[in-house]
Chain A
Amino acid sequence: MGNEGKQQFKWVGTRPVRPDGVDKVTGQANYGADFTLPGMLAGRVLRSPHAHARIKSIDASRALALPGVRAVITAADFPELPSEVVAGGESPVNYRHISENVIARHKALYEGQSVAAVAAISASIAEAALALITVDYEVLPHVIDVRAAMRPDAPILHEDMITSGVEPKPTKASNIAARTEFNMGDVEQGFKDSDVVIEREYTTQPVHQGYIEPHAAIASMAADGMTTIWCSSQGQFMIREFCAKLLHLEDAQLRVIPAEIGGGFGGKTTVYLEPLAVALSRKTGKPVKLVMSRDEVFRASGPTSGAHMTVKIGAKRDGTLVAGSLELAYQAGAFPGSPAVPGCMTAFAPYDMANAKAVGYDVVSNRAKCAAYRAPGAPISSFAVESALDELAIELGMDPLALRLKNAAKEGTRALYGPKFPIIGFVETLEAAKAHPHYSAPLKANQGRGVASGFWFNIGGQSTAAIHINEDGTAEVVTGSPDIGGSRASMAMMAAEVLGIDLAKVKPLVGDTASIGYTFLTGGSRVTFATGKAVCEAANDIVEQLRARAAKLWKCGIEDVIWKDGVAYPAQGQTDARTQLSLAEIAASAARTGGPITGKAALNVGGAGAAFGTHICDVEVDPETGRTSVVRYTVVQDVGRAIHPSYVEGQMQGGAVQGIGWALNEEYVYSEQGQMQNAGFLDYRMPVASDLPMIDTVIVEVPNPTHPFGVRGVGEVPIVPPLAAVANAVARASGVRVNDLPISPPRLLSALQKAKA
């Protein structure tokens, strides 16, 4: 359901074929692993078999003696960086940690962490060389679980890590990197004033982003240090920045050429292979290609946090929410940086609640360092709050949508994390969900219906766009934003809309770091909003130039030229001898009117539009096996404006299904030695086509006034509600509430049997 019925624009809101589509359905599109360079060497990475071990020595002499091996690198080939938190990437980063995550220096902190890398003349020789590298490890006690890691007697990962955000400052190192607290009103008084209080504990497991394309990179460093990197990532400028910092290079020495990206979902917002490829190329003088196997992707990249949470919600008998408190312990993996803070900020955001408190702990343990995953932190804490709200609705005898409507945040509502909301569309999503035929459809035996809502900020940030008008009047639109799910289509559509020309005449391109200005990475649901705004401004710049060119040809003032539908017209009353001039005609005479026509915009975009979604989920539970099947699912979301409704629906459907996998199947299984036991798609069970029904979508459009077309952003909100929507449906279907994800068949079966006993 798009906005076709209320057509206000020529292109915005329509569903054209995406400009990069043909290459992708014919196999012509080049992803990270698809590039080959003359003289290229094959690289392989040696990874720690231990969850926690001191690296006493590394002896690569036998590997280097193998014919065809050209280089072996270790942490000794990288500068040791100071431990300091600086701005970078999607959130503040500590380059020392990024460096050690790329290649372990003194200790291996998780199974799968890179300890050395090889370049050889063939993949099979590189593979054989790995077995010839001798690493002397001193195996240390390890800890996997988040609560176990918080205990005072837990094995300590970082001997210098003192918890921040605690007064007085602790004197002893621990695995708790940080404590963060948000407060509004008086929570304790709020609970006293409540008629009903629900208090529950919840856990979620770490889940991997599960992009189908493994990480891949090729780097080629010339003798003068000039370096080119071809790789798939969510930000070519992020790759440049991180590689420059980790290898002490200047930005201008590095050129990063973005490949097509085969999924990221936040997981490709950091570096893994790129610095290794650069270091290997520096040592060998040849281009070096590194590609992860799926096993390596699971053991060494991603995932998002698992968590332990306590939620308390108090309400009046009429359903008015009075107070809420939330305590979150998020696993960060081996280095600090879990999304505990956004977890605290988002969970209560949909509700107008006078008294609220959220405390988050960022906790390290011996597992792969967390990376961003679609609305980082929000699905986890929302699972807890939205599950508790469902129990509250049952306790109060209220319809769960009515409970949410009664307390829904609106324009002017203050959120726990500080700001008052501007115009938002949460109520509209609830009303659309209530009115949807799904919500009143009958249920069969063993079926239940759950609802849940969710919030994400969406972000703006820095983006550059350039538009070049070709000699024949066609246009190139260049941005610095990797296209992860159809953004080139929306860039071209917005440019065509502003320029007033046929979409077929507009060709979008993702530029490399040397051919377009700095652009923050593709993440935070920012591209259509922020880079889209830059494209609109660049197109406006072009329109002004075209009017000036027409004025020059007509020997009149620019104010006497009107631009409409891709054509310059004389302003009213200025019609004498002049005729109209099309963009193609103005382009053809560019040499006579001032030279090439190029427009640009380089912005730091503010005013991101917060967005909300509400999901309805029907499940059927098999009481014999504990298996849950999702039988009907509807996603309702305020997107501000859908530029290309099909790709907006696609984001909503895909996010919902990732959330369904998180709720029902996905988890990491570890051995007693802290080694991952299910590092493959067969055993790490992501949803497949036969697991799912169609995913219905309702696009709500409450425009964001700060964007030329009203865009808020779409990619992240849809993964926030599904965890609780599924869990609430299971509870209503089976009569048993499972507060620990995933609700896998054995877990639900055991809960059902316990309830029976």
Chain B
Amino acid sequence: MSKHHISLTVNGDPTEFLCETEQTLLDVLRDELGLTGSKEGCGSGDCGACSVRVDGRLVCACLVLGAELNGAAVETIEGVAKAGVLHPLQQVFLNEAALQCGICTPGIIVAAKALLEENADPSEEEIRFWLAGNLCRCTGYDKIVRAVQKAAAVMRSA
């Protein structure tokens, strides 16, 4: 069967790809576009390691088909730092040691960025519920939650 030809933007850049019907956005990002920052932890939308934005909406890239994305605007972890300058969330995650193995980190940063754009001053509980779809097995979440709080403060004072 012939492949689908899709035109969209990825992190602001006009992009085209060919994909099979069953390829997910995550497969397309990783295997067709070479953007391996989004990780596959489960392929079933349970771990959040592939969190990306599609037209601003936070989704698991493994639950979206590549063929659905004609005309969409996709944002991934690769687009979070601008021109080599880290986003405050990225800098604070480093400063606060909010990662260990780092496999969940791209998804958590994409998800937390979406939260802070919606709510500039989230409570601990709001952060915990927002990130409940992003599994981390290393940290116990303590330093992640604190880093998001701290990044929110940095962004509010910017």
A interface vs B, CB < 8 Å?
Answer: 15, 17-18, 20-22, 24-31, 33-34, 36, 123-124, 209-214, 260-265, 291, 293-294, 484-486, 644, 646-647, 649-651, 653-658, 680-682, 686-692, 694-695
Contacts and interface: CB of A to CB of B under 8 A. Distances in A.
A264 B103 CA distance: 11
Contact of B143 (A18, A28, A650): A650
Given A688-B132, A695-B142, A18 B41 contact: no
A17 B95 contact: yes
A653 B104 CA distance: 16
Max count, chain A CB within 10 A of own CB: residue among B34, B42, B103: B103
Contacts of A644: 97
A112 to B, nearest CB: 16
The majority secondary structure among interface residues of chain B is loop
Interface string B94-114: 111101111111100100000
Given A27-B36, A27-B106, A689-B134, A212 B139 contact: no
A752 B139 CA distance: 33
A27 B137 contact: no
Contacts of A210: 137
Interface in B54-107: 76-78, 80-81, 86, 89-90, 93-97, 99-106
B41 A294 contact: yes
Given A30-B36, A653-B143, A688-B133, A646 B47 contact: no
A26 B86 contact: yes
B36 A34 contact: yes
A686 B140 contact: no
A37 B128 CA distance: 39
Contacts of A34: 30, 36
B140 A22 contact: no
Q: How large is the interface on B (under 10, 10 to 19, 20 to 34, 35 or more residues)?
A: 35 or more
A17 to B, nearest CB: 5
A143 B137 CA distance: 30
A717 to B, nearest CB: 15
A692 B128 CA distance: 8
Contacts of B127: 689
B53 interface: no
Nearest to A660: B140
A325 B32 CA distance: 59
B139 A654 contact: yes
Contacts of A691: 132
B152 interface: no
A60 to B, nearest CB: 23
B137 A689 contact: no
B44 A681 contact: yes
The majority secondary structure among interface residues of chain A is loop
Contact of B47 (A28, A212, A654): A212
Contact of A213 (B41, B86, B89, B146): B41
8 contacts: A25-B109, A27-B78, A27-B106, A213-B41, A649-B143, A681-B42, A690-B129, A691-B132
Nearest to B129: A690
Contacts of A211: 101, 103, 137
Nearest to A23: B102
Nearest to A28: B37
Nearest to A298: B42
A688 B99 contact: no
B17 interface: no
Interface of B: 20, 22, 30-31, 34-44, 46-47, 49, 76-78, 80-81, 86, 89-90, 93-97, 99-106, 109, 124-125, 127-129, 131-146
Contacts of B47: 212, 294, 681
Nearest to A20: B102
B119 to A, nearest CB: 15
B94 to A, nearest CB: 4
A212 B137 contact: yes
Contacts of A656: 140
A646 B142 CA distance: 11
Max count, chain B CB within 10 A of own CB: residue among A25, A264, A484, A647: A25
Max count, chain A CB within 10 A of own CB: residue among B44, B100, B132: B100
B109 to A, nearest CB: 6
B36 A485 contact: no
A658 B137 contact: yes
A31 B86 contact: no
Given A124-B20, A294-B44, A689-B132, A31 B138 contact: no
Contacts of B109: 25
Max count, chain B CB within 10 A of own CB: residue among A21, A33, A211, A260: A21
Contacts of A36: 31, 34
A26 B128 contact: no
Contact of B86 (A22, A124, A651, A692): A22
A438 to B, nearest CB: 15
Contact of B100 (A294, A654, A680, A686): A654
Contacts of B124: 694
Contact of A647 (B31, B94, B100, B125): B100
Contacts of A658: 137, 140
Given A212-B137, A657-B141, A26 B81 contact: yes
B100 A214 contact: no
A27 B37 contact: yes
B47 to A, nearest CB: 5
Contacts of A20: 102
Given A25-B99, A211-B137, A654-B137, A694 B41 contact: no
Contacts of B141: 657, 689, 692
A653 B140 contact: yes
